[in-house]
Amino acid sequence: MKQTKFIFITGGVVSSLGKGITAASIGRLLKSHGLKVCMQKLDPYINVDPGTLCLLQHGEVFVTDDGAETDLDLGHYERFIDENLNLHCSITAGKIYLRVIEKERNGVFDGRTVQVIPHITNEIKEVIWAAAETSNADVVITEIGGTVGDYESLPFLEAIRQFRRDVGPNNVMYIHTTLVPYLKSGGEVKTKPTQHSVKELRALGINPDIIILRTEKKLPPEQKDKVALFCDVDQRSIIEVKDCKILYEVACELAKQQTDKIILEHFGIDYQEGELTEWKHLINNIKSAQGFVNVAIVGNYVELPDAYISAIESLKHASYENMVHLNLKFVNPNQVTNDNIDETFTGIQGILLIDPYGEKINPLALEIIRYAKEKGIPLFGINHGMISIIYEYCKDTNIDKYFEILDQRQLGLQKLILKSNSLVNKIYSKVEIKERYRTNVKINKELDQILEKNKLQSSGYYDESIGVVEDKDHPWLLGCHYHPELLSRPNRPHPLFVSFIKAALKK
């Protein structure tokens, strides 16, 4: 039986350091060595899962094949390592405490006093093992949400401290990511915050094997030497990651500093040069792109672009495939009027209309759809965006009875059947597809006849429910009830986004 290796990634100094991108990039590097990689996010907040969190506060909810509503970092993980993750890969403190309380209520602990140590920490370790066992991975990379020093993170840090003791030091590695700020007034970078962060981590019994320094300026060698000395880490294990214009370059930056070699040596795995040819080809394509495509994302949460991060990345993937750069404009439909709609969409070649389930029909969004119809602008509606398209086309008909509000959300991978010779059928080049859903609305197939009368065709079905609609007379107007952005990869862009960008370039 193989021994899975475990990498735990923590963050210090400030939040939003890009731990998720760093973790995903390390996953990409290890996969380039032929290792099977699984990635996991442990979040310290008390919500049971991100499904009910406000998008403006937390960003998008990413959904896995098995229907888990997860942190948006899982989207980065899947896009980087090109593996489909599962419900064991996103765990919150709320889920951990709920499981322990349910066990206590069911008498699992035989009346013993339930405590953070060992009961909460044991449950955390169980979910780490579950990720390893269900994925059969060679390496599990677990990112600990929050920042070292946060009170709510302590049970997770204690659990990963114990993990090294449980499976042996040669099977566990700790990587700590910190910020090295640059002070313009003095013209120098400061490593003191990193030193204090590592001191805090070591006080909890965790000694980092690698320290990754996030910085906007190149670090002088003496500063890296200082971090190595004061944090008791080998100088070669002090890795510098500067801000990258292209997200996917981070993996190559880590490879240049032999991060993968350091990790494999620690685990006793023979090192050979990783196969990053496809990844480097992707980056070269991005750098070689010429010209621009101008796309507007229309949604109620555009104040926080992270609310649409998978859609944004999918548009980028499709733009790379079409060898152009992407210019994005974020439009809140509530700020669009008849007086400014022309100005708002001047120069826009494509409109992506997207919002989560459960939103009421916004008459201002319907005006934008009408505008796209009249001007021949390619329009792509996702989930509620598709429902809005249906309402605009059928505005003179009462169609409310064809929409069923479900008691439980439809989540995860579902099979759809596409109509032959439809636009969506030609885009996919197949009749049967599988896509991820996140909706609480079922659209009755009996709506078909009304759609046809209003020059809108339903062209894809899931379980007697309409899943795709399109306008045959428009240059490119399509809506899908599922979330194609959840399955797009930088090296394998989703065909719907590729076709949408291609149509936008013709506008």
pLDDT digits (tens, 9 = 90+) for 192-215: 999 999 999 999 999 999 999 998
The pTM is what?
0.94
Please say if the pLDDT value at position 63 is more than 90: yes
Cβ count within 10 A of residue 373: 18
CA distance 18 to 326: 22
Peptide bond into 155 cis (omega under 30): no
Q: 494 Cβ partners below 8 Å, 6+ apart?
A: 314, 317, 318, 484, 485, 487, 488
Please say if the pLDDT value at position 6 is more than 70: yes
The continuous run of DSSP H or E covering 141 comes out as strand 139-144
Inter-residue contact 155 to 116 (CB < 8 Å):
yes
Q: 295 or 221: which carries more pLDDT confidence?
A: 295
User: What is the per-residue pLDDT for 220?
Assistant: 84
Nearest to 352 by CA among 317, 314, 390, 320: 314
Please say if the pLDDT value at position 17 is more than 80: no
Assign residue 449 a region (left: φ > 0; alpha: ψ between -120 and 50; beta: otherwise).
Answer: alpha
CA distance 35 to 299: 39
User: What is the per-residue pLDDT for 221?
Assistant: 87
* Angstrom distances, CA of residue 217 to CA of 97, 230, 247, 480: 42, 21, 17, 44
Work out the average pLDDT over 43-67.
Answer: 91
Helix 277-288 × helix 309-321 angle, to 10°: 80
Inter-residue contact 218 to 225 (CB < 8 Å):
no
Please say if the pLDDT value at position 219 is more than 70: yes
Residue ranges and CATH numbers for the domains of the chain are 5-281 (3.40.50.300), 290-506 (3.40.50.880)
Residue identified by tokens 């974020």 is 330
Spell out a b/e string for 423-445, using b for 16 or more CB atoms within 10 Å of the CB, else e.
Answer: bbbebbeeeebebbbbbebbbeb
Per-residue pLDDT band for 14 (boundaries 50, 70, 90) equals confident
CA distance 378 to 375: 9
Q: What is the pLDDT of residues 132-174, one digit of tens each?
A: 999 999 999 999 998 998 889 999 999 999 999 999 999 999 9
Q: What is the pLDDT of residues 377-394, one digit of tens each?
A: 999 999 999 999 999 999
Cβ count within 10 A of residue 113: 7
Nearest to 468 by CA among 490, 502, 496: 496
Length of the chain: 507
Please say if the pLDDT value at position 15 is more than 80: no
Inter-residue contact 163 to 125 (CB < 8 Å):
yes
Spell out a b/e string for 286-316, using b for 16 or more CB atoms within 10 Å of the CB, else e.
Answer: beebeeebbbbbbbbbbebbbbbbbbbbbbb
% of the chain beyond a pLDDT of 90: 81
